[in-house]
Chains A and B, each alone.
Chain A
Amino acid sequence: MHWISFRTGGIKILPFAVSGLIFGMIFGFVGASAGFPLRFISAMSYIIFAGSAQFITLILLIENEHAFGIMLAAVLVNIRHLIYGAALHNKIKWKGLKKLPLAYLLTDEAFLISTLTTKEDQELEFEWVLFGAGLMLWVVWNLATIGGYLIEEKLGSLISFPENFVIVASFLGFLIDHWRRYPEERLLILILSFSAVPLGFMLSPTWVLVALMVLGAIISGARERGRLQA
């Protein structure tokens, strides 16, 4: 079952790996065009391994921001990982140091794939699904970073990507499928979608994402409290 779960995670994350491939290439591309050496840009991908934090770090480095400010921004963007950890605490049965590789590979995409996949097929082992999904994304992300860097060196600024739409297109299918599959969550999806409008005027899309996760948790918790009291 280990291998089946590991393989399932690796296969199920492939659609996200396409977006990882594009974003990894954009990251390498931007790093190269800003004049950073390949070993530095590549190290960001294999040490940090968190897309949004890497992009913010890179942009602030290009803007010559102070190191403390860069660290603070990266930590704030990554705060959402606390919620993932809390959500997965009871799902992960591995003990001690075995949890560390899972934590290292715990990206947005791996979190989504492992929770949604094991919700559909409860015989799969959660830890191995997460490990397979995370490892596949890690390999794609790191190769794409190097690829994007080398492409920029050869082709300069001839290529452009619609960055925001890459994110939307990557996750849109999963949102529609989630709507179709779980009717009980449709109200929550609608409330969060409408809430994104006022939030979007005040916050950047990354912070709207964090705010929606907190709001979703509060609404769902409040509904459960009301159900228990009724």
Chain B
Amino acid sequence: MRVVAKARRAHGAGRLRVTARARALRVRGGWEPADALRAGLLDPRLPAAEAARFASPRAARELARALNPEELMPLVRDRALFARFAPALGLPVPRLAGLLGRAGGWSAVTGRPVADRDDALLFVAQELPDRVVLLPSPGRDGGRALRREGTGFVDVGGGGRALSPAQLVDELWAGAHDLFVAHEDPGPGTALRVTTFAGLGGDVRAVHAGILGPGGAFADVDVDSGTIGPARTPRLDGAGSRPARGLGEGTVVARWRDAVAVARDCATRLLPRRALMWDMTLVDGRGPLVLGADGDLGPWPSPAFGDALRAMGEGA
């Protein structure tokens, strides 16, 4: 009921219409009402046919389950596993500094274990690069970008808060996640999410792409041309998104062909997983870098993504 009330407030719609839309989406598309609200689908002004094009998280998960054997999912769910695996296979990933966690870690710099808090302090103080990103593993939560300053770090995304190595380790140890991937911060770049699909012939192609911007802004990217579509950004009330600017609508993503080639190459190496969503970054002066792979086909709130998923399902 809270979801319906929120949708009514956000979209100025009547209870009956919002409830009917939520119910239709649930029955036909597997949408949880809260997810439908977040995707903006409870707005009755959005034509029902258009709303039906979006893919619910459940539909995406079900398709992923049909295309990716469950036994092979850990690698594309767990960032620490992927961080260990990807460089060995030569996938273009940011330089790994190590793994850091309560139950033990490892320094890619020295090759030694980071076995306890004392080791962790040493690792943080002496072996982390000057600009580093810490990503919880497993999980989809965002990373924590830090910049070395003096003997400690500045939490770039955390309002510039200064942290000593001991404070950083204590904060990591006290959190919900027990393992973190530490890699160099490749610097500002274009954040892309490319979904690949392997056909029965083993041919891998990009079937959807999107670009991400500050504040959660996003836009579809035409996979053939690399042209950026209209941008949207999440509404502050959490009821869908609104039009936005600044992602370069109508322009072509720089080095788009390279990005698609990298995603396809990575996906080929991860066969027989057939459907994967790749987080990538395009940094000036470097080739496309792969930040991670998602075998659950995390949601992307656009009808184009839903169309791509349905096409994958039909081609399966």
Mutual binders A and B? no
Q: Residues of B with Cβ closer than 8 Å to A?
A: none
